[in-house]
């Protein structure tokens, strides 16, 4: 077995949840790694003991209790300078400091250690014992209406180490002005509002690796400005922003990606107020994003773990457009989520005599399902009812995801004989199924164990040509976070 060790300490990272989950926390930006798991429902709230409670009310009560807890913690910090257990039975979630009334700083970290055995079919050896993510950061609130978040990565994860996508050392770095619940402004570096899973923080993910739809086709972080807010008693959340570039997922250290990106996301919870209805937790998201590629390399098809390229990037010239649709549903110990993302890139004037070449299109989807076998309520990251360190076993969750990323055939200019060294441009697709078991030892420690079964349509462009394009990867991820 060959091990890959990675670590990270994340700032806002103890966050991380779906866009919609962020809605449950008024101080969290929709779309940032902010999540309810950074403010999980206290164990003594009704959330676990009364799973049948109205979902919306449940969230609100959680919020109120969380707020009371925050105030209590804050008061304890004023006296002690550091948060302390509020009830003597539960540790605080992360260190905080309140230098003066109205100003509060929260320090958050995340370290991840990943182990990946050799994949025999593809002969993929991970590099032995190498740190990846080590992230640390701070969030601050100033007189309630203003806040900021800064986080820094000290390591290089697999994607960055192999230049699969550009990963700036500065992750989140933005300021926020909250005028009303319906109108909040962010400026700085943060995730473009696009995609459900892409907007989930890493500590709240159900799998070691994000879906192909999120990691390959969704934009990721960049510098820009964004307006967002909640409307109609939280039945709708919106985000719309302008960004100088179109996200680091679509570029590497040597490619510039798109510029002048406009992105928007709308999340609807149409049944939110319907108390005991099965559909109350349902959330539906719509995403659009457009940007400009001026003779730049486009998106390439990467396998789940990024080891293989099954569709090479081509030069593009013109508009890059993304559209997405997603749904999420959580009730009791179960969750279901699905997402569809389509990307198109133009190749204007790139042929002989300035003729346009057909654009390149890609589509990705996934369907994911989780079940907390130990019965905890699913709300982003599980909070174990009986922690390992308190004579319990923690929480166990089963997670299954099936997904596909497909690239359409592109074409090269005639005469094609000239381009014998050009990448193969026939259509290709990666279909993957991930089966995972997540062990939440306590609030701070989680072990993710995933088996990824992948199949590439064209074996000759897969990491496993001798295996007919099929290969299995096992991944273990040990995560510490604050």
Partner 1 sequence: MAYRFAFCLCIALLLSTGPARAATPTQDEFFNDSVLQEVRLAISTRDWQTLKDNFGADTYYPADLTWNGITVRNIGIRSRGHATRNGTKPGLRVDINRYSSNQEFLGLKAFSLDNMYGDTTLVRESVTMKMFTKMGLPAPREAYARLYINNEYAGAYVILESLDRTFVTRMFGQEEGNVETGGYLLEYQWLYPYHWEYLGSGLDSYAQLFQPQTHETDSVVNIYGPVEDMIRTINESTDENFAASVGKFLDLNLFMKHMAVESYMVEWDGVTGFAGTNNFDLYRFRNGKSQFIPKDKDASLAFVDMPPTYRFDTIVLARRAIQVPELRQAYIDALKQCMALAGEPTADDARGWLEREVERQGGIVKPAVADDPVYPYSFDDFVAGIEILTDFAQRRTSYVSCEVTQMETPADQPQEACPAFAGQQ
Q: Which of 204, 108, 110 is nearest to 397 (CA)?
A: 204
Is 5 among the residues that bind partner 1 (CB under 8 A)? yes
Binding to partner 1 by residue 367, rule CB under 8 A?
no
* 3-class DSSP state of 222: strand
Interaction between residue 371 and partner 1 (CB under 8 A): no
Which residue, 475, 467, 479, is CA-closest to 451? Answer: 475
Q: Site for partner 1 (CB under 8 A): which residue of 22, 34, 304, 350?
A: 350
Contact pick of 34, 115, 200, 297 for partner 1 (by CB under 8 A): 297
Should residue 136 be labelled a site residue for partner 1 when binding is judged by CB under 8 A? yes
Told to check if 480 binds partner 1 by CB under 8 A, we report: yes
Give the range of 29-37, 92-100, 202-210, 319-327 binding partner 1 by CB under 8 A: 92-100
Compute the distance between CA of residue 271 and CA of residue 283 in angstroms, rounded to an integer: 8
Residues 213 and 341: beta-carbon distance below 8 Å: yes
Measured CA distances, 164 to 13, 45, 92, 418, 428 (Å) = 22, 43, 37, 28, 18
Helices (H) then strands (E): counts for the chain: 5, 19
Minimal distance, residue 461 CB to partner 1, in Å: 8
> Does 293 engage in binding with partner 1 (CB under 8 A)?
no
Residues within window 330-349 making contact with partner 1, judged by CB under 8 A: 347, 349
Longest dimension (CA), the chain: 77
CA of residue 93 relative to chain centroid, distance: 21
309 part of the interface to partner 1, by CB under 8 A: yes
Q: Is 80 in the site for partner 1 (CB under 8 A)?
A: no
Q: Which is nearer to partner 1, 46 or 309 (CB)?
A: 309
Using CB under 8 A as the binding rule, whether residue 185 contacts partner 1 is answered as: no
Residue from 217, 362, 399, 412 in contact with partner 1 (CB under 8 A) = 412
Q: How many residues bind partner 1 (CB under 8 A)?
A: 70
Query: Toward partner 1, which CB reaches closer, 365 or 444?
Result: 444
164 forms part of the interface with partner 1 (CB under 8 A): yes
Candidate segments 34-42, 222-230, 399-407, 412-420, binder of partner 1 by CB under 8 A: 412-420
Among 7, 250, 258, 436, binds partner 1 (CB under 8 A): 7
Which residue in 11, 34, 111, 263 binds partner 1 (CB under 8 A)?
111
Out of 104, 234, 245, 302, the residue judged to bind partner 1 by CB under 8 A: 302
418 to 457: interface string for partner 1, x by CB under 8 A: xxxxxx------------------x-xx------------
3-state secondary structure at position 66: helix
> Are residues 263 and 243 in contact, defined by beta-carbon separation less than 8 angstroms?
yes
> 258: exposed, middle or buried (C-beta count within 10 Å: 0-12, 13-18, 19+)?
buried
What does 291-340 look like in DSSP terms, one character per residue? EEEEEEE---EE-TTSS-EEE---EEEEEEEEEEEEEEEEETTEEEEEEE
Give me the least distance between CB of 25 and partner 1, in Å please: 21
Q: Which two tokens stand for residue 337?
A: 């989520």
| CA distances to 21, 58, 77, 142 from 68, in Å | 20, 15, 14, 18
Cis (ω within 30 of 0) for the bond into 415? yes
CA separation for the pair 212, 310 (Å, rounded): 13
* Whether the Cβ atoms of residue 458 and residue 347 lie closer than 8 Å to each other: no
Choices 194-202, 212-220, 275-283, 416-424; region in contact with partner 1 by CB under 8 A:
416-424
- Applying CB under 8 A, among 109, 239, 335, 370 the residue interacting with partner 1 is 109
Reading the block at residue 265, the tokens are 């996301």
Q: What does the binding site for partner 1 look like in residue numbers (CB under 8 A)?
A: 5, 7, 9, 91-95, 109-111, 113, 122-125, 128-131, 134, 136, 154, 162, 164, 252, 254-256, 295-297, 302, 306-309, 314-315, 317, 347, 349-352, 354, 389, 412-415, 417-423, 442, 444-445, 460, 462-466, 480-482
């Amino acid at each position: 077995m060959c091990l890959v060790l990675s670590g990270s300490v994340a700032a806002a990272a103890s966050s991380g949840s779906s866009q919609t989950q962020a809605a449950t926390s008024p101080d969290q930006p929709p779309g940032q790694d902010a999540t309810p798991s950074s403010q999980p429902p206290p164990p003594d709230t009704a959330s676990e003991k009364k799973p049948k409670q109205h979902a919306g009310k449940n969230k609100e009560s959680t919020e109120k209790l969380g707020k009371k807890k925050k105030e209590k913690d804050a008061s304890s910090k004023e006296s002690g300078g550091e948060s302390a257990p509020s009830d003597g039975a539960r540790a605080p979630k992360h260190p905080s400091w309140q230098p003066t009334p109205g100003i509060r700083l929260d320090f958050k970290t995340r370290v991840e250690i990943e182990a990946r055995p050799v994949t025999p079919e593809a002969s993929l050896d991970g590099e032995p014992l190498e740190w990846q993510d080590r992230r640390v950061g701070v969030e601050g609130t100033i007189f309630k209406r203003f806040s900021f978040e800064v986080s820094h990565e000290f390591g290089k994860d697999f994607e960055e180490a192999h230049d699969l996508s550009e990963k700036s050392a500065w992750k989140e770095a933005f300021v926020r002005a909250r005028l009303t619940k319906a109108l909040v402004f962010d400026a700085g570096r943060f995730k473009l509002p696009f995609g459900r899973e892409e907007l989930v923080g890493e500590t709240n993910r159900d799998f070691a690796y994000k879906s192909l739809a999120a990691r390959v086709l969704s934009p990721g972080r960049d510098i820009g400005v964004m307006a967002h807010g909640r409307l109609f008693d939280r039945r709708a959340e919106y985000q719309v922003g302008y960004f100088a570039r179109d996200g680091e997922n679509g570029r590497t250290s040597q490619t510039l990606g798109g510029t002048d990106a406009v992105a928007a996301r709308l999340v609807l919870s149409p049944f939110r107020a319907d108390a005991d209805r099965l559909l109350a937790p349902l959330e539906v998201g719509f995403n659009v994003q457009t940007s400009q590629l001026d003779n730049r390399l486009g998106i390439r098809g990467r396998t789940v773990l990024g080891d293989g390229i099954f569709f090479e990037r081509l030069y593009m010239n013109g508009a890059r457009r993304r559209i997405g649709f997603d749904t999420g549903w959580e009730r009791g110990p179960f969750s279901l989520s699905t997402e569809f993302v389509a990307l198109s890139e133009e190749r204007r004037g790139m042929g002989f005599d300035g003729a346009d070449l057909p654009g390149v299109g890609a589509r990705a989807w996934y369907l994911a399902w989780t079940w907390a076998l130990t019965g905890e309520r699913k709300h982003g990251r599980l909070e174990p009812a009986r922690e390992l360190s308190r004579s319990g076993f923690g929480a166990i969750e089963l997670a299954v995801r099936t997904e596909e990323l497909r690239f359409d055939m592109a074409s090269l200019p005639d005469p094609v004989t000239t381009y014998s060294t050009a990448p193969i441009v026939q259509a290709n697709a990666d279909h993957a199924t991930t089966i995972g078991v997540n062990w939440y030892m306590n609030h701070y420690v989680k072990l993710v164990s995933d088996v990824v079964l992948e199949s590439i349509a064209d074996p000759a462009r897969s990491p496993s040509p001798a295996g007919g394009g099929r290969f299995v990867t096992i991944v273990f991820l040990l995560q510490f976070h604050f």
